[in-house]
Chain A
């Protein structure tokens, strides 16, 4: 591919990797704290999956930019400041209630599966291959989330209330999910258009939520910021996730 396309696709892949890595970090925070043992284990493993996916996207970006495949992912993860990250705001929001984390995962995973379905058809073969691998794994993520919607949404009065509160808090951050990603405008045929994924996402999500007696808020104030803008929570998150790597940059792991 041409250099210009390479740079655009690398930007796109780094944004995808950023989404996965930040979500992975938030999910990993439940390790040792989740409300039941099975979910403690499940969230740790979901986080491991996303970490692996982030690494795959970053490695593909490294190839396109002619960077070292081993070192570039570490550079991206550990040595960028908040302003250099391109993840959506949804994934960096602090955990709080467990209902919030389950629902966030679900909202994100449904989109991811839709996007991967398109990426599997990419004309750039290494991308299509990675997408096929990740797609299979993400189907299990959606399955996990979908199992919890009715359990909590139709469980007790309290569990329903907490799920609906989580949905009200998360919903304003969903429009940003459908903004074109960095580099995307030049990648026709290589990646699916992100705005084009919204209709399918909305149909699936609204149906699943309704079957769990949950409803998106009628009035919400959309937080549709560009991906170059991060929440204030990113600083805290990065200071924790990057602390060890930055403490000794020469360390070998």
Chain B
């Protein structure tokens, strides 16, 4: 438990998790870092709050923004002593993206990654559903899209190009 300086009482780790659910993914602002599985753990260590996060992609240019957004959100609830640490193990997998996030991602026209259960290689050639018309009749155009975590597809049914969040 951490003492809140503006005397709203003690803040539990659960309160912190809830607050972190407000911090959105800078590149997909309809989903939170918690829903994306980027925030792995929240701990209290010697009076400091340690937030453990893991990058989706090693070169993700949004990492610094995420860190400062996490700090800013916790500062807003009066928590100043925050360490945001990056961990690579276990490596982030798109299977950690929650059901709620998958629905929201699809609503903005981004196809969610196929669930693969451990080895994403197995789903790389599996059909991707068009987020606009739900057709399976889609074609991969490029394995790199507008960010390192997206691929470009074309829907042969509704003639709509769209991106997929890559399975990883």
Contacts and interface: CB of A to CB of B under 8 A. Distances in A.
Interface in A131-176: 132-134, 136-137, 139-140, 143-144, 147
Contact of A52 (B58, B124, B152, B168): B58
B109 interface: no
Interface residues of B, number: 24
B59 A133 contact: no
A55 interface: yes
A136 B57 CA distance: 9
A51 interface: yes
Contacts of A45: 144-148
- The prevalent SS among residues of A at the interface is helix
B5 interface: no
B28 interface: no
Contact of B59 (A42, A51, A144): A51
Given A42-B142, A56-B58, A144-B143, A49 B148 contact: yes
Contacts of A53: 58-59
Contacts of A132: 88-89, 91
B166 interface: yes
A201 to B, nearest CB: 19
Interface string A101-136: 000000000000000000000000000011011101
A38 B152 CA distance: 8
A136 B166 CA distance: 11
Contacts of B59: 48-53, 55, 137
B120 interface: yes
B61 interface: yes
7 contacts: A41-B142, A45-B147, A52-B55, A129-B88, A137-B58, A140-B166, A147-B143
Given A52-B57, A139-B121, 14 more contacts: A38-B152, A41-B145, A42-B142, A49-B57, A49-B148, A52-B58, A56-B58, A56-B88, A133-B91, A134-B58, A137-B168, A140-B144, A140-B166, A144-B143
